[in-house]
């Protein structure tokens, strides 16, 4: 039994000529198309392949694709609402009572929870939410130690618009506490 080849030259001699040629060709293709071999356009190719040859089935496919796209958008908007709620929940308790913090020697930072609703709406406005969404975003509960916020986000469906008249509303909520550290 011989030892496995350790040097690249020995390994190259043991590879069949066809495998070496294929490997060299693959490296050349990678160098030529580096950065351009991605998935962009794959969805469009699937739509063309399934929708064009079968007109009746193509409509069904496009209807299913519309629900998939808008369903994905719904999930994305829910995640966005939750993300904005988390950020707003961290933003609201940054308004602390400085006099009480100094009086406690820096150990207990009480939140100015009376301003929680205004700070949540201010953050929602700065995050680019629409006017009605800013008004509907609120501070659910607040005290000197923690705040809970709720963000409303409204969006229009992309492909199922003819089936649904109107927009969809999603909400995200989050809590944040004030800690010294």
The 10s digit of each residue's pLDDT in 41-50 is: 555 555 555 5
Structure tokens at 40: 């962009």
Give the mean pLDDT of 87-91.
Answer: 91
In a domain, 37, yes or no: no
- Whether 89 maps to a domain, the answer reads yes
Closest alpha carbon to 72 in 176, 168, 181: 168
**CA-based Rg of the chain, rounded to a whole angstrom?**
29
Question: For residue 85, which of 28, 152, 18 has the smallest C-alpha distance?
Answer: 152
Domain-located, residue 12: no
153 lies in some domain: yes
- Mean pLDDT value of segment 113-119: 89
- Give the C-alpha separation, 83 to 142, whole Å: 19
pLDDT at 148: 95
Q: Read off the pLDDT of residues 142-157 as tens digits, 9 standing for 90 and up.
A: 988 889 999 999 988 8
Which pLDDT belongs to residue 168? 87
The band of 110, judged by pLDDT with boundaries at 50, 70 and 90, is confident
Overall average pLDDT of the 122-129 stretch: 93
In the sheet with 146-155, reading across from the earlier edge strand, the strands are: 138-142, 146-155, 168-177
> Left if phi > 0, otherwise alpha if psi is -120 to 50, otherwise beta: which for 41?
left
Q: What is the largest CA-CA distance in the chain?
A: 82
Alpha-carbon distances of 133 from 57, 100, 125, 130, rounded to whole Å: 39, 34, 9, 5
Whether 28 is in a domain gets the answer no
Q: What is the mean pLDDT of the chain?
A: 77
Task: Specify if 1 maps to a domain.
Answer: no
Q: For residue 38, tell me if it sits in a domain.
A: no
Query: Would you state the pLDDT for residue 137?
Result: 94
Each residue's pLDDT tens digit, 155-178: 888 777 666 777 889 999 999 988
pTM for the whole structure: 0.63
| pLDDT given for residue 86 in this prediction | 93
Give the chain's domain count: 1
Q: Which residues constitute the domain of residue 86?
A: 51-177
């Amino acid at each position: 039994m011989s030892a496995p080849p350790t040097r690249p030259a020995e390994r190259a001699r043991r590879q069949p000529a066809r495998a070496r040629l294929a490997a060299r060709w693959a490296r050349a293709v990678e160098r030529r198309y580096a950065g351009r071999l991605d998935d962009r356009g794959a969805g469009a190719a699937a739509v063309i392949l399934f929708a064009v040859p079968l007109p009746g089935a193509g409509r069904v496919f496009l209807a299913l694709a519309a629900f998939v796209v808008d369903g994905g958008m719904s999930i994305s908007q829910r995640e966005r609402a939750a993300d904005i709620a988390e950020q707003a929940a961290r933003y609201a308790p940054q308004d602390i009572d400085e006099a009480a913090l100094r009086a406690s020697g820096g150990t207990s930072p009480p939140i100015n929870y009376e301003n929680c609703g205004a700070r949540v709406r201010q953050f929602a406005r700065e995050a680019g939410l629409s006017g009605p969404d800013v008004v509907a975003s609120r501070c659910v509960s607040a005290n000197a130690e923690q705040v809970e916020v709720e963000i409303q986000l409204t969006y229009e469906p992309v492909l199922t618009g003819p089936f649904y008249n109107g927009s969809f509303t999603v909400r995200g909520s989050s809590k944040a506490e004030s800690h010294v550290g």
